[in-house]
Amino acid sequence: MYNQHDDLIYHLDLCILSYQLYTQTLVWPMDPYYEQMDKKDERRENFMDAVRQSAPDPDGLPRCPDHLDPIRYRYKQINPHRPCFALPETGEWILYNTPAEITRRIGKTYVAKGAPTKIEDITKENDDGIKDCDIYCFEGETGGQIEKKQGALSLMGFILVRPLPRNAADYAVHIVFRGSRSGKVSRAMYEGASRIGGWRRGNADWVTDLAYATYCDNHFISSKSQSSSGFAISMQGMLPTILKCLDKIHLAKKKKPSEIYVTGHSLGGALATHFVSAVVQGNGYGYIPSDMRLNKMPSNVQTWPWRDTKLITYGAPWVGDREFETEFNNNFKGNARRVVLGNDIVAKPPHRTSSSSLGILCPLTIHGLPDGVTNFANRGSLCHEPYLIRRALIASATHKEDVPAQTKTAYSNPEAEDYWDVNEPWKIFPVFVNLLEDPHFEIARKQSLSSDFGSRAIEYFKCMNSALDKESSFDRRTSPQQNEIRKVVNQLTLDQIGFGNDLDDIYHTWQDFKKQFNLEEQTHNFLGLISLMRLLAVNSTVTDQNITESGFQYLVDLI
């Protein structure tokens, strides 16, 4: 169990849970950001156009603006008790498995969405655990800009309601914001910084991120200073949804919480800071001495102990000018902790006029990390990764003399050879076979490859076919190759990517396709992988050992 010495680790694990829940909402975990169509031509854009023109979103989300990537989501897939995985970009399978000390205690799961906000119970049955906590997931927009405020909706975080051990009638709320998600980071950064038609384009999260050094007057966030425009626009849009959840919590508990925590990693840390600023020093949802009737915050929630809120951020970017820093620290510095690992480039000030320290800095060094990691951790981009921040926090906690023995043993033995592989809640694998071999894969596949995965894959193939029907520089250059891909995709769609429910049948069909059609190796392998994933979704008797002993060993070793 976590204790007071694990506070920073506990809240980082909540941040990892926010990534896990977001990943569960992805309709296409095998290619959520359309990396398989990423060529130096129009194919990826054509694919995204096909997604925009496809059937309405099953969750009722409004269509994404044309200048932003149309990522597909389904909120009803959320299940905090199950691990999940996705392939955000080639060579980076990620498995999320938040510690059971957190997830087994979650009873009710709600999702808050829409305008006006509607809160829906999406609880999944789970017999294991105490179930004395509830979780409220909330959506929000990223990608909104000063020139064009409309952004793209997605799951942005959650609120955990937790009873306090000293008195079960008292409770704490933990408001958690997720960080950025995208495919290839270099492209997301380039597109997010580019302006076409007057606004930034590409991945919505990165459009918000890359406006961090553009300051604006937003009295909802701060009444006396300027804040980073991307984060401010995003936070202003999601405040009503979050406060609706908090009001529902107050009505259910019939009292205010004893403790409030706000946390987030990366983009989530910036949003967490702006949320605290909004409720403490903003004109709209914050304290208005002249007339509290002007406050948009629900009257119940106005009674909460906001001035005692504990803010914890990890690898957070800068969110305002020097006046913002001064105002924030005057109101809040003693209750804010800012965790930064090494020379994390995201957490560095953008220029000399930026704030130098928001809250209390909690620096972490790379020296406590296992051998092999430290060789790369000096690179600022790697220092930003949550799993490395977590390793550094554990190394720091287990080496402090004033930390009780039970805390040091709570994480087993971090120096043991297999410790990190077995226990980490955020794991990265270069190829699918490594994911298959993970002890948590069997449970994760039930979440990421649910029974409707086949229909989701067919939808993906239809969008691919539509994209291939459009002319592109790729099509003009190598038309026969594009026609070959179209033939295979047509066949996959007609056959419902079935080929039977037997591993050997699927393997031989995949091999026949390879002989019959002259496909790019990467494209052929990717289509075979989707067929294999569909089998894993419908046939629970297929194990990782079956796959690695079959002809698919070659495939899963590559992708």
pTM of the model: 0.92
Which of helix, strand or coil describes residue 183? coil
Tokens of 102: 């957190």
Given the structure tokens 């600023």, which residue do they identify?
A: 277
Q: What's the distance, Cα to Cα, between the start and end of the chain in Å? A: 37
d(CA 261, CA 306): 10
Instruction: Return the pLDDT at 276.
Output: 95
Instruction: Return the pLDDT at 478.
Output: 46
d(CA 83, CA 96): 5
Annotated domain spans of the chain: 5-27+69-447, 475-558
Q: Is 402 exposed, middle or buried (0-12, 13-18, 19+ CB in 10 A)?
A: exposed
- What does each of the 559 residues of the chain score in pLDDT, given as a tens digit? 566 558 999 999 999 999 999 999 999 999 999 988 766 568 888 889 999 888 767 676 777 888 899 999 999 999 999 999 999 998 899 999 999 999 999 999 999 998 899 999 999 987 777 889 999 999 999 998 876 568 999 999 999 999 998 887 899 999 999 999 998 888 888 888 777 666 788 999 999 999 888 888 888 898 888 899 999 999 999 999 999 999 999 999 999 999 999 999 999 999 999 999 999 888 878 765 555 555 789 999 999 999 899 999 999 998 998 889 888 988 886 789 999 998 888 988 765 444 456 788 888 876 656 555 555 455 556 889 999 999 888 888 766 555 545 444 444 444 444 444 557 999 999 999 899 889 899 899 989 998 788 888 888 888 887 887 776 655 554 456 667 777 777 776 665 555 556 788 777 777 777 777 776 777 778 888 888 888 888 787 887 778 877 777 777 777 7
Which of helix, strand or coil describes residue 295? coil
Instruction: Provide the phi-psi class of 197: left if phi over 0, else alpha when psi is between -120 and 50, else beta.
Output: left
Q: Which residues pair with 341 in a beta bridge?
A: 364
Question: Which positions ≥6 away from 235 have C-beta within 8 Å?
Answer: 220, 221, 271, 274, 275, 278
The residue among 48, 375, 378, 12 whose CA lies nearest residue 183 is 48
d(CA 205, CA 143): 6
Instruction: Return the pLDDT at 315.
Output: 95
Instruction: Return the pLDDT at 494.
Output: 66
